Structure 1
Amino acid sequence: MSVLVLQLAGPLQSWGATARFARRTTENAPTKSGVIGLLAAAQGLERDADLSQLAALRFGVRIDQPGTRIRDFHTAHHPDTETAMPISQRYYLADAVFIAAVEGPDGFIEELHQALQAPRFLPYLGRRSCPPARPLDLGIRHQAGLADVLAGEPWQAAAWHQQRRRREATVDLPVLRDAEPDTSGTVTGDTVRDLPLSFDARHRRYALRTVYATTVTVPNPHSRPEHSLRSVPAHDPTSLLEDV
């Protein structure tokens, strides 16, 4: 088994797990359906293609930079009749960075890796209006499983974000990954409906999956020891009154 690692960073991202009419929300991290859709697009699959091989991949994501949630008050008109379309509210994550990883058979992971390097359809971060700002492909990891890869990848947050936490030598990052049965065979975690069965526009279908939430600790490359930070000089405003 191998693990393909992706970097998801851009000015805007939107990873919806549920959508109701004119309200289009986003989750706090990329969904499995969103990342599988990105990989399917890179492969050149049509919307009615069989997704079983992609859906069987083990999936996990690490939140390196959570970003800021913003709302777009969206208006539009029909291009032919100029009729006003329904007003909608669409939510995005601004300036977010994630590490996503999928684990599966060596041969299939290599196929996906090659597809990412020369995608048939342009990749986007949840919506077509959200292009990536950095290369998606971080390579294949052969010697570690999904959990170890998400724990071992360098912190990919923007330099300014890392510098804001320069007093910390290490940082704790949230991780969401497919839950596994424990020794008793029990699977615990939160249930989400983001396992794609079909992207066919006529009848999109998604199944439930169980997500295990944890944290990992990674080094901060911009950390500075406390003694190296500029110290604030001592100041006593009453000292000048002592000689009066």
Structure 2
Amino acid sequence: MSGLLIRLAGPLQSWGERSAFTPERDTAPFPTRSALIGMLAAAEGIGRGDARLEKYRELRLTVRVDRPGLRLIDYHTVGGGFPKDRTAATSGGSNKGAAVITRRHYLADAVFVVAVTAPDNTVERLANALSHPYWAPYLGRRSCPPDEPFLLRRHVDDPEEELRTQVPLSRTAPPQQETGKALTVEFLREQPPHHNDDAAPAFDVIEVNDEPVTFAQHGRGHTGRRLYRTVEPVSHHLTGPQHTLMQRLIDYAHTEEHP
């Protein structure tokens, strides 16, 4: 087993928790498994109606929350004031001229780093797809493209440990007077945490319903899973001045893993 590392950053992200269309288009506070699997499947050219999702069950996803972002709600209308043949239909099938009103939730200025752990051949396949995607990746909605660097590392022996100890943190370095304080970061894991160098940290268990069964447009299905949330100390060397962040990320992404 090995893995790869993906950085999810951009002006806006939206990780919907309900698959059906509703006037309130919500977002989870972190990337869902359904959205991440969908991103990988799209990069490999697998369409919504394709049943080949079983091969993604073996993936283990760990999310590091660099910045949780700020919740933003966009008041959005579609149609209204036009002739019937130019007006969007409502969920009831009517298009009598009334605008469809939705409130779309986003995370503004959020940053997450995702460790994808899988068998070596799967990691290589996914890395190739993300480097040359069939359909471009986006952060939950097509209007939310990711910043670069997106694919931080194509192959890491222990991607979860890499999150804790090596991947630059997209957060401003603490003030000088606080450098002695522990720098803590939130992690979301699919298995109870275990570290080789110290005792396992305390965790909260979160029940979510985002394991995709099918992405079919008119019959999407999901099942439940558990997440293990921790808040863990990380080294201050992962941070730095904000104006050097991009260079630190680029340097990390281009550093050979086995010099």
- The TM-score with structure 1 as length reference comes to 0.80
**Partner residue of 1:59 out of 58, 61, 83:** 61
Where 2:27 maps in the other structure, the secondary structure is: coil
- Rounded to whole Å, the distance in 2 between the matches of 1:181 and 1:97 is 22
Runs of 4+ in 1 over 6 A off after TM superposition: none
**Pair 165,134 (structure 1): closer, same or farther in 2 beyond 3 Å:** farther
**Partner residue of 1:75 out of 70, 74, 77:** 77
The one-character-per-residue Cα deviations of 1:161-189 (angstroms, maximum 9, x if unpaired) are 4146554435211000102499xxxxx82
**Pair 53,166 (structure 1): closer, same or farther in 2 beyond 3 Å:** farther
- The TM-score with structure 2 as length reference comes to 0.75
Gaps of 5+ in 1: 183-187, 224-244
* C-alpha contact 1:174 1:216 (8 A) present in aligned 2: yes
- Rounded to whole Å, the distance in 2 between the matches of 1:74 and 1:35 is 25
Gaps of 5+ in 2: 88-96, 195-203, 242-259
- Rounded to whole Å, the distance in 2 between the matches of 1:150 and 1:86 is 42
* C-alpha contact 1:55 1:197 (8 A) present in aligned 2: no
* C-alpha contact 1:36 1:55 (8 A) present in aligned 2: no
Matched letter for residue 34 of structure 2: S
Matched letter for residue 66 of structure 2: D
| Alignment length (residue pairs) | 214
Offset of residue 190 of structure 1: 1.6
Structure 1 stretch displaced more, 8-17 or 69-78? 69-78
Greater CA radius of gyration, 1 or 2?
Answer: 1
- Rounded to whole Å, the distance in 1 between the matches of 2:175 and 2:65 is 15
* C-alpha contact 1:193 1:208 (8 A) present in aligned 2: yes
The answer to whether 1:173 aligns with 2:175 is: no
Q: Percent identity?
A: 39
Q: CA RMSD in A?
A: 2.3
**Pair 55,193 (structure 1): closer, same or farther in 2 beyond 3 Å:** same
The within-5 A match list for 1:37-56 is 37-49=38-50, 50-56=52-58
- Rounded to whole Å, the distance in 2 between the matches of 1:116 and 1:165 is 37
The within-5 A match list for 1:220-235 is 220=236, 221-222=239-240
The within-5 A match list for 1:1-244 is 1-18=1-18, 21-49=22-50, 50-77=52-79, 80-82=85-87, 83-144=97-158, 146-157=159-170, 161-163=171-173, 165=175, 167-169=177-179, 171-180=183-192, 189-220=205-236, 221-222=239-240
- Rounded to whole Å, the distance in 1 between the matches of 2:16 and 2:176 is 33
